[in-house]
Amino acid sequence: MAETKYEITYIIRPDMDEEAKAQLVERFDNILKENGATIIDSKDWQKRKFAYEIKKYSEGIYHIVNATAEDSAAIDEFDRLAKISGDILRQMIVKRED
């Protein structure tokens, strides 16, 4: 079965200190790895202002992860845990066709 490429973008609340943010990113990278995904890269993109408030925040830190997986188990688990994390304001998972 061929691996599927995914691009995961998530927004981290802007008031986290660097150490806490690094731990959050590491935790979510590990969730992907432990569930069978391979991470190609995981990097902060930039802090951006929102067009409207999300959970009382007017800006957030965008983080992008490119990963591959043979099935959707890792992606589903990432999505489930990101939705209940108070530190991740929004997430978007895109299946890439390139």
Domain ranges for the chain:
4-96
**How many residues are present in the chain?**
98
- Helix and strand numbers (H, E) in the chain are 2, 4
Share of the chain above pLDDT 70, in %: 99
Mean of pLDDT values over 73-97? 96
Note the pTM of the prediction, 2 decimals: 0.92
Q: How many Å apart are CA 16 and CA 22, to the nearest integer?
A: 10
pLDDT band at 1 (very low <50, low <70, confident <90, very high): low
Cβ-based burial of 4 (10 A; exposed 0-12, middle 13-18, buried ≥19) = middle
CATH hierarchy code of domain 4-96: 3.30.70.60
**Using one digit for the tens of pLDDT, what is the confidence trace for 23-62?**
999 999 999 999 999 999 999 999 999 999 999 999 999 9
Cβ atoms within 10 Å of 30's Cβ, excluding its own: 11
